Amino acid sequence: MRFRAKRGTDRSIVPETIPTAWTLTEGHAGMRAQVEGLAEAMGLTAARRDVRARLPWDWLPGRVWPAPLAAVTPRPAPPWPGLVISTGNVAAPVAAALRRKGVRAVHVQNPKMDLRLFDVVVAMRHDRLSGPNVLVTRTAIHRVTQARLEAARAEWAPRLAHLPRPLVAVLAGGSNGRFTLDAAVGAALADRLATMMRQDRAGVFVTPSRRTDPAVTATLAAKLRPLGAEVWDFAGDNPYFGLIASADAIVVTQDSVSMVSEACATTAPVLIAELPGRSRRIAQFLADLRGDGRIRPFAGRLETWDVTPIDDTPQAAAEVRRRLGF
């Protein structure tokens, strides 16, 4: 990890006890995972605040909102916290506005506005940001910790014991503005997974996400369950942490930077299932990780190799605390 500069901004930083904190996002699971992951790693118990842009402000970029606190719903109200950790294009101008009220502001990812409006910006290297208050990480901030993985492994080992080894966890995302994961693409993915199951005698457990099209989940289940695979149907306990903790390899669809980052924090080799579409930033993110030897493309066969987990969250959290003086 490359931490740039020794001070967050030119504002004075006074050591103090751990402050009260908010996490501020639009409420999406991937966003919450990043801000809550940073808060947890910093030793904070943060109150969750989800905001959405109001009409007509949702038509305009947040950097031009004249009154950001009035542009979102619910409108943030005092008592103000000592610290806000934000991510997303809606939360960024709100966090900057809170900073003008004396709240210290840490933004995760590119805020797409003047970086000087924040005490610290924690950005990934594919964002290509630099500045005296920028910390650069290789992967997204997340909530995966070794302690959480160990606990999940112990809990889920009996539940996964019926599946063949090597066990492959499949993390399925969904279509977004950049990539497509519809029923046809899901069927092609299922065919590659079926080939791996037959030729490499691998066990497979698929966990879809909230963004996964139900038609994709149904297709994966129809093609893979007859071969002995498990496909989570959202009933019962979420197997996500148990799977990534227990898997001998992990297949992740390329649409989700968060899921790839979480998989890379484990000791399992990570294989990327490519999807139709294009994103310059995600392509650079994956190219960097492939250059690190942490990921490989999934071509329908199981591959394993020696890996070292990539997890910059603890170091980033420690550096943010140092810069903020607590």
pLDDT digits over 229-256, tens only? 999 999 989 999 999 999 999 999 999 9
pLDDT digits over 79-90, tens only? 999 999 999 999
The answer to whether residues 250 and 271 touch, using CB atoms and an 8 Å cutoff, is yes
Q: What is the average pLDDT score of the chain?
A: 93
pTM metric for this prediction? 0.88
Tokens at 285, concatenated: 């993110």
State the average pLDDT over residues 50-73.
95
Q: Reply yes or no on whether the pLDDT at 139 is more than 50.
A: yes
Tokens at 283, concatenated: 């392509």
| Structural domains in the chain plus CATH codes | 2-142+313-324 (3.40.50), 146-297 (3.40.50.2000)
